[in-house]
């Protein structure tokens, strides 16, 4: 989230799209309700009428997989009807920047597409630069090569009739959404967007999010109270686990994973440290060398020296994509021999789970750490497999629950909050910290004693978390914050980190979280800040540097006057020469630095040349879709990798004419371990079901409560039919298409058992992130006889 949960109360209009906040983040709705009590409007866009929809002023049904068409249509309306915030665009975004003359778009493809490689050469996706290397601008936004005019041209194809034929959203509702949400473009008004996996789990997931962010920029809604682009993240610490980089492509604090081209530390830093010729650009990532060297010092301590490039060679180098789907494809092909699963249950939660379970059978060994016996740990004991034919050695380790250990987690609003140990874990169960500590020490011992392939990174690993049986979690938290290695003191903030090896920090973004003043995440001061917008600056701590609303310089004009004085985030006191309110995005006086400090050009990108699939969002159909793409002959995202071969069948609309999507229910959580073993919750939500419209049920002679089969090209499941008004057929291209919905929590372990919806989902992912396309695929349903 750019903003945070409480800040939702400051919005004048809230658009919840691709999220069912009322059911899946129920307490977030407390703040939606507070806003509505003050007169805010709620818009909900979703294929299904949910409990969120039931509270909305406008419910706009949207066929799964058509978000870009929807948002592009809304943006087109906003531009053509002058609802956008022009001053904001010019001051804060690249709207006025001129783009290379050779940049173009035709037949659903941007210039530079290589059909064979399914990849873009992005050399023309660039700004025009002046003689000093600074992007040329036209602050009137009239130049036909400026981003604003190129965007306007791109969006002009998305008129509301066209959009309605793609999305299935009735035109009058599109118009209403565009007008009401567009009204937040007025000065002093704010609109917020709340989204979740309904947005991201598509082959165009990244561009879906981008389209929302662009809409927010057009309306001047980023950096302000009651605004922002707000991901409702689903797991209690999925923000923290991302920050700590349990992902192949990043290192802690969003530093880039070294690539094979980055052979030396010098090459790495040259490659990944952005440069800017613009003196008004803060270009924050220019500090990359300080953060990277400090990270290497945290990892390898005294063994990271100037002489050995701070042990840079110890860090593995990647040359391809190693994301979830790729991992399971490699496992299926026998290339992965061992897997360590820390509280994840891919046998329920992964896409195309029949294939992912088959892949587990190819492992020599599997370690599964969890509170419960999961479908993943016991994949060899399912009815359809013969354990005597499965070679895998499996270790199932009992883990401690959240109240049985001490440490911090980071919520969606970036608040790092400390938890205390209340009781000991049951039986032999141990904290993950204990397990990792024991394992690391044993590996260090083994490699020290026997040597082995490149033993140095393990033997030299900086690993000292106290003399006790349970590692000291405070020592770990302090290492993450970082030290001044000369004085031995904790560094007060990332401004003090250096690239000469005299500082360490396990994650520069968490610098200032645990300082000589104490553990900031444990703070419980209930007082609000002077601007009284619900920042609670001394309750817990948030990254970066306790800034509760990021990009907040954009909430003011170039003199530091807030656009919304009644709910200002920051403001400049000219007499005292200081900012008050939230922690500003840098303390420089107003107008001396551009507001989007993380971008080398200092401006938010309406034209986003960093993405794999285009600088503007363009509608493409999901991999499996019942309709042809109306916008161009390019049917699916042209740079998405489509896996073929064994167990990767793709369904066609003839055999599988019905759109399907997956979702969650309030009473269960993710792959189910934490709720399907809980009697109270199981009583509330006992079994697997499929939700469908009355018209579909009628045509298939299905009654509410019948057992039905749901089939896709990947597999077949059975579930109870829930026949409901909540789904209605969508009118696309003048024809009606049905959609069904399936909760994905179930499996064959636990108190509540049922078929996993992910037996049905495909192994295909977003072109940028490889997040699986769980939210739009094709199926058929029939009554079980």
Partner 1 sequence: MKLSRRGFLKVTGAATTGALLGNFAFNRKSSEAYAQTLRTRYAEESTTICPYCAVGCGMIVSVSRGKVINIEGDPDHPINQGSLCSKGSALFQVANNDRRMTKVLYRAPYSDRWEEKSWDWTISRIAENIKKTRDANWVGKDSKGRVVNRVEAIGALGGAALDNEECYLWSKLARALGIVYLEHQARI
Which residue, 93 or 288, is less far from partner 1 as judged by CB? 288
- Candidate segments 83-91, 175-183, 206-214, 534-542, binder of partner 1 by CB under 8 A: 534-542
Who's near 379: CB < 8 A, 6+ residues apart? 347, 357, 360, 361, 366, 385
Which member of 750, 775, 777, 781 binds partner 1 (CB under 8 A)?
750
Which residue, 431 or 780, is less far from partner 1 as judged by CB? 431
Query: What H or E segment, with its residue span, contains residue 210?
Result: helix 205-218
Which member of 19, 288, 431, 728 binds partner 1 (CB under 8 A)?
431
CB-facing half-sphere around the CA of 614: CA atoms within 13 A: 28
Which member of 2, 3, 6, 265 binds partner 1 (CB under 8 A)?
6
CB of 211 to partner 1, least distance (A): 21
Q: Is residue 709 a contact partner of residue 629, using CB atoms and an 8 Å limit?
A: no
- In DSSP notation, 248-292 reads TTEEGGGEEPPBTT--SHHHHHHHHS-----TT---GGGGHHHHH
Q: What are phi and psi of 759, to 5 degrees?
A: -60, -25
Record the tokens describing residue 559, joined without a space. Answer: 């003199």
CA 526 from chain center: how many Å? Answer: 30
CB of 676 to partner 1, least distance (A): 10
Which residue, 426 or 495, is less far from partner 1 as judged by CB? 426
Who's near 642: CB < 8 A, 6+ residues apart? 623, 636, 650, 764
Q: End-to-end CA distance of the chain, in Å?
A: 48
- Candidate segments 98-106, 141-149, 184-192, 519-527, binder of partner 1 by CB under 8 A: 519-527
Q: What are phi and psi of 335, to 5 degrees?
A: -85, -20
* d(C-alpha 710, C-alpha 744), whole Å: 13
Q: What are phi and psi of 8, to 5 degrees?
A: -55, -30
Q: Where in 322-361 is the site for partner 1 (CB under 8 A)?
A: 322-324, 326-327, 330-331, 335-344, 346, 349-351
Q: Where in 255-294 is the site for partner 1 (CB under 8 A)?
A: 260, 263
Record the tokens describing residue 596, joined without a space. Answer: 């989007």
Name the nearest CA neighbour of 170 among 732, 704, 782, 764: 732
Which residue, 18 or 615, is less far from partner 1 as judged by CB? 18
Which residue, 656 or 774, is less far from partner 1 as judged by CB? 774
CB of 714 to partner 1, least distance (A): 16
* d(C-alpha 757, C-alpha 348), whole Å: 8
Record the tokens describing residue 597, joined without a space. Answer: 């400090």
CB of 226 to partner 1, least distance (A): 16
Which residue, 430 or 553, is less far from partner 1 as judged by CB? 430
Which member of 70, 84, 268, 299 binds partner 1 (CB under 8 A)?
299
Which residue, 405 or 571, is less far from partner 1 as judged by CB? 405
Q: Where in 537-576 is the site for partner 1 (CB under 8 A)?
A: 538-539
* d(C-alpha 409, C-alpha 414), whole Å: 9
Name the nearest CA neighbour of 178 among 289, 106, 79, 66: 79
Q: Where in 676-735 is the site for partner 1 (CB under 8 A)?
A: 677-681, 684
Q: Is residue 71 a contact partner of residue 212, using CB atoms and an 8 Å limit?
A: yes
Q: Is residue 416 a contact partner of residue 542, using CB atoms and an 8 Å limit?
A: yes
Which member of 150, 347, 477, 778 binds partner 1 (CB under 8 A)?
477
Give CA angle at 414 (538, 12), nearest 5°: 90
Which residue, 484 or 528, is less far from partner 1 as judged by CB? 528
* d(C-alpha 769, C-alpha 200), whole Å: 9
Which residue, 309 or 635, is less far from partner 1 as judged by CB? 309
Which residue, 167 or 208, is less far from partner 1 as judged by CB? 208
3-state secondary structure of 689: strand
Composition of the chain by helix, strand, coil, percent to 5: 30, 20, 50
Tokens 């003839």 locate to: 654
CB of 84 to partner 1, least distance (A): 31
Record the tokens describing residue 501, joined without a space. Answer: 């090896």
DSSP 8-state code for residue 413: T
Which residue, 548 or 553, is less far from partner 1 as judged by CB? 548
Does 751 bind partner 1 (CB under 8 A)? Our answer is yes
Q: Is residue 615 a contact partner of residue 151, using CB atoms and an 8 Å limit?
A: no
- Candidate segments 97-105, 150-158, 512-520, 702-710, binder of partner 1 by CB under 8 A: 512-520
3-state secondary structure of 175: helix
CB of 203 to partner 1, least distance (A): 14
Q: Where in 756-775 is the site for partner 1 (CB under 8 A)?
A: 769-772, 774
Which residue, 234 or 274, is less far from partner 1 as judged by CB? 234
- Candidate segments 90-98, 160-168, 209-217, 311-319, binder of partner 1 by CB under 8 A: 311-319
Q: Is residue 430 a contact partner of residue 398, using CB atoms and an 8 Å limit?
A: yes
* d(C-alpha 378, C-alpha 376), whole Å: 5
Which member of 403, 573, 574, 736 binds partner 1 (CB under 8 A)?
403
CB of 381 to partner 1, least distance (A): 7
Which residue, 415 or 730, is less far from partner 1 as judged by CB? 415
Does 183 bind partner 1 (CB under 8 A)? Our answer is no
- Candidate segments 161-169, 435-443, 609-617, 626-634, binder of partner 1 by CB under 8 A: 435-443
- Candidate segments 80-88, 106-114, 397-405, 561-569, binder of partner 1 by CB under 8 A: 397-405
Q: Where in 638-677 is the site for partner 1 (CB under 8 A)?
A: 666-670, 674-675, 677
Q: Where in 201-260 is the site for partner 1 (CB under 8 A)?
A: 201, 232-248, 251-252, 260
Name the nearest CA neighbour of 215 among 109, 67, 358: 67
Q: Where in 436-475 is the site for partner 1 (CB under 8 A)?
A: 436-440, 442-443, 446-447, 450, 452-454, 457-458, 461, 473-474
* d(C-alpha 592, C-alpha 584), whole Å: 13
Which residue, 397 or 639, is less far from partner 1 as judged by CB? 397
Q: Is residue 99 a contact partner of residue 146, using CB atoms and an 8 Å limit?
A: yes
Does 512 bind partner 1 (CB under 8 A)? Our answer is no
Q: Where in 409-428 is the site for partner 1 (CB under 8 A)?
A: 409-413, 415-424, 426-428
Which residue, 135 or 240, is less far from partner 1 as judged by CB? 240
CB of 310 to partner 1, least distance (A): 14
CB of 9 to partner 1, least distance (A): 11
Q: Where in 15-54 is the site for partner 1 (CB under 8 A)?
A: 24-28, 30
One-letter-per-residue 3-state SS of 535-602? CCCCECEECCCCCCCCCHHHHECCCCCECCHHHCCEEEECCCCEEEECCCCCCCCCCCCCCCCCCCCC
CB of 530 to partner 1, least distance (A): 16
Q: Where in 356-395 is the site for partner 1 (CB under 8 A)?
A: 364-365, 367, 369-373, 380-381, 387-395
Which residue, 594 or 745, is less far from partner 1 as judged by CB? 745
- Candidate segments 53-61, 432-440, 583-591, 721-729, binder of partner 1 by CB under 8 A: 432-440
Record the tokens describing residue 463, joined without a space. Answer: 């690993």
- Site residue total, partner 1 (CB under 8 A): 173
């Amino acid at each position: 989230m750019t903003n945070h949960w409480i800040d939702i109360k400051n919005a004048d209009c809230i658009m919840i799209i691709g999220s069912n906040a009322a059911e899946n983040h129920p307490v977030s709705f407390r703040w939606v309700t507070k806003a509505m009590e003050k007169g805010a409007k709620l818009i909900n866009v979703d294929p299904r009428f949910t409990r969120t929809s039931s509270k909305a002023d406008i419910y706009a049904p949207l066929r799964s997989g058509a978000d870009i068409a929807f948002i592009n249509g809304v943006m087109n309306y906003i531009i053509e009807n002058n609802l956008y915030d022009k001053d904001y665009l010019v001051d804060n975004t690249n709207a006025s920047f001129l783009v290379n003359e050779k940049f173009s778009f035709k037949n659903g493809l941007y210039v530079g597409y290589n059909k064979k490689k399914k990849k873009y050469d992005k050399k023309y996706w660039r700004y025009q630069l002046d003689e000093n290397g600074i992007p040329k601008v036209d602050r009137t936004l009239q130049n036909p090569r400026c981003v604003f005019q190129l965007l306007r041209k791109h969006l002009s194809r998305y008129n509301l009739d066209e959009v309605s034929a793609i999305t299935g959203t009735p035109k009058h509702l599109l118009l209403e959404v565009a007008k009401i949400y567009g009204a937040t473009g007025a000065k002093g008004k704010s609109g917020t967007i709340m989204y979740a996996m309904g947005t991201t789990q598509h082959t165009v997931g990244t561009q879906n999010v981008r389209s929302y962010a662009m809409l927010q920029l057009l309306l001047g809604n980023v950096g302000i109270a009651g605004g922002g682009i707000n991901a409702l993240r689903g797991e209690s610490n999925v923000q923290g686990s991302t920050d700590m980089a349990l992902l192949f492509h990043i290192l802690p604090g969003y530093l880039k994973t070294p690539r094979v081209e980055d052979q030396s530390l010098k090459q790495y830093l040259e490659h990944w440290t952005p440069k800017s010729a613009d003196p008004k650009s803060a270009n924050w990532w220019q500090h990359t060398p300080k953060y990277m060297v400090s990270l290497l010092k945290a990892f390898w301590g005294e063994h990271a020296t100037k002489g050995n490039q701070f042990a840079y060679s110890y860090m593995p180098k990647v040359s391809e994509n190693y994301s979830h789907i790729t991992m399971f494809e490699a496992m299926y092909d026998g290339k992965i021999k061992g897997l360590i699963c820390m509280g994840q249950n891919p046998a329920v939660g992964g896409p195309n789970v029949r294939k992912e379970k088959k892949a587990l059978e190819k492992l020599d060994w599997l370690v599964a750490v969890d509170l419960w016996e999961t479908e993943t740990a016991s994949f060899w004991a399912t009815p359809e497999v013969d354990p005597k034919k499965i070679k895998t050695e499996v270790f199932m380790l009992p883990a401690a629950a959240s109240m049985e250990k001490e440490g911090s987690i980071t919520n969606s609003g970036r608040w790092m909050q400390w938890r205390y140990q209340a009781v000991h874990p049951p039986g032999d169960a141990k904290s993950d910290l204990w397990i990792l500590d024991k394992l690391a020490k044993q590996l260090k011992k083994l490699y020290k004693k026997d040597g082995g392939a490149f033993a140095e990174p393990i033997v030299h690993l900086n690993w000292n978390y106290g003399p006790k049986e349970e590692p000291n979690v405070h020592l770990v938290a302090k290492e993450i914050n970082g030290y001044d290695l000369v004085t031995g003191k904790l560094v007060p903030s990332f401004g003090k980190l250096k690239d000469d090896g005299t500082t360490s920090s396990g994650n520069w973004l968490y610098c200032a979280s645990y300082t000589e003043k104490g553990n900031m995440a444990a703070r419980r001061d209930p007082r609000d800040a002077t601007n009284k917008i619900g920042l609670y600056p001394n309750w817990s701590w948030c990254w970066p540097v306790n800034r509760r609303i990021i990009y907040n310089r954009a909430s003011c004009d170039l003199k530091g006057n807030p656009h919304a004085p009644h709910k200002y985030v920051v403001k400049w006191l000219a007499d005292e020469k200081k900012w008050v309110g939230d922690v500003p995005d840098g303390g420089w006086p107003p107008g001396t630095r551009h507001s989007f400090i993380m971008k080398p050009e200092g401006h938010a990108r309406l034209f986003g040349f960093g993405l794999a699939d285009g600088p503007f969002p363009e509608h493409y159909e999901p991999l499996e879709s019942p309709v042809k793409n109306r916008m161009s002959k390019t049917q699916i995202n042209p740079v998405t990798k489509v896996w073929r071969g064994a167990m990767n069948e793709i369904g066609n609309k003839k055999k599988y004419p019905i759109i399907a999507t997956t979702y969650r229910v309030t009473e269960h959580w993710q792959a189910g371990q934490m709720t399907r073993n809980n009697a109270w919750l199981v009583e509330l939500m006992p079994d697997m079901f499929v939700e469908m419209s009355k018209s579909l049920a009628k045509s298939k002679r299905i009654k509410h409560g019948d057992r039905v089969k749901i089939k896709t090209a990947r597999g077949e499941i059975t579930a109870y039919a829930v026949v409901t008004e909540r789904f209605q057929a969508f009118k696309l291209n003048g024809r009606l298409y049905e959609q069904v919905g399936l909760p994905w929590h179930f499996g064959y372990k636990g108190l509540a058992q049922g078929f996993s919806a992910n037996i049905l989902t495909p192994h295909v992912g977003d072109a940028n992130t490889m997040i699986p396309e769980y939210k739009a695929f094709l199926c058929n349903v029939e009554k079980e006889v």
